[in-house]
Amino acid sequence: MKHLSTDEIKILLQFFPQGVVAFDLETTGLSPLVDKIIEISAVKVTKDGVETFDQLVNPEIKIPQFTIDIHHITDDMVKDSPKVAEVLPDFVKFIDNYPLIAHNAKFDVGFIIYDVLQNKLALQEAKVYCSCAISRRVFTDFPNHKLGTLVEKLEIPLENHHRALDDARACLQVFAKALISYYKKRNNTKILKDAFLFKTNSYGENQELNIPKHLKKLEVLVPAQEVFDIKYNGGSMKGKFRPVKPISLLPMPEGMILYAHCLTSDLYKSFAVKKISDFRELSDEEKEYRLESLNLLNN
C-alpha cells in the first residue's frame, strides 16, 4: 500500500505473525448512543500482502455542520450509500479475528460494538490495541499524541486527515514506527501489553446498552458537551457532586461509561454510568465559574 514501507510491514508481522488490521471511522459525533457512523475503513496486513476496506455509510440522519467541517463528508455524499446494517457484515468478515489497531481505540471500537450488538451480529475474539497508547509509551518527548501531531513528528504522509482510510493507514504507520523505535532499544515484545485495551469478546451479547431512566437527559447533554455536575459513587469524591465537561457515552466491556473531563481533578476520566447516582444541569453563570476556576488552577 502507498506509503507503508517494507520495514513497517516487516515489524508489524514480527509482532503480529498472523496479521493485523488498523481501522478508523468517521461519525456524526462522539457518542454511539446518539451519533452514527458515516465512513468505515481499514487496512489489513498479512504475510499475503496488504488489503483495504473503504465504505461510506448512510447514517439516516442529517450530518451536523461542525462534523462536516472536520471530515468534509456531506449528506449528498452518503445519501446513496448503504446503511450500517448492510456494511457491518462485510466489515466483520474483513477484520475476522485479526488483532485490531485504532487511534484512541475506545471510541472507534465503541461505535462498532454498539452497532454490532444492535444488529445482532457476532464478532470473533480479537485483541484491541491503541496507537495513541503505544505512542505515549514510546514517544515520551512529543508535545501530544494526536494523530495530526504524530504524523508530522514521524514524517508520515497524510493527505486527507479525518478521512477514514487515510487515518487508518496513518494509525498503522504510527504503530509500526513505535514498534521499530521500541524494538531497537529493547529487543523484546513487551510493549504490546501497554498498547492492549481488551478483547472484542469481552462484551457480552446481552450487555446493557441503554442509559438508566434517571440519567436519560445525559443523551442530550453529552453531545452538547456542556458542563454539568454528576454525583458519583466512587473515587475520592464519593457521593458528592463534581463538575464534568462530557466527551462521550461509550459501551465498554465493564458497561456503559461517561468519558469526561473532570474539572475538579483536571483529568480525563471514565465514569461508570451505573455508578452515577444523580446529575444536575448548571446555569450559564455556574458553567463559566467552574471553567474559570479550572483556568485559575492551571495558571
Q: Which residues contact 27 (CB under 8 A, 6 or more apart)?
A: 35, 36, 37, 38, 67, 111
Three cell numbers at 137? 509509551
- Distant-in-sequence contacts of 229-232, Cβ < 8 A, 24+ apart: 229/279, 229/280, 229/282, 230/258, 230/271, 230/276, 230/278, 230/279, 231/276, 231/277, 231/278, 231/279, 232/271, 232/275, 232/276, 232/277
Q: How far apart are CA 121 and CA 58, in angstroms?
A: 19
Active-site annotation holder among 71, 103, 145, 162: 162
- Distant-in-sequence contacts of 16-19, Cβ < 8 A, 24+ apart: 16/45, 16/98, 16/99, 17/47, 18/46, 18/98, 18/99, 19/44, 19/45, 19/46, 19/47, 19/98, 19/99
Query: 61: alpha, beta or left, given left = phi > 0 and alpha = psi -120 to 50?
Result: beta
**CB neighbours of residue 134 within 10 Å:** 25
Whether the CB-CB separation of 57 and 84 falls below 8 Å is answered with yes
Residue 162 designated active-site? yes
Whether the CB-CB separation of 135 and 148 falls below 8 Å is answered with no
Output the CA torsion sign for 146, 149, 155, 158. Answer: positive
User: Which of the residues are catalytic?
Assistant: 162
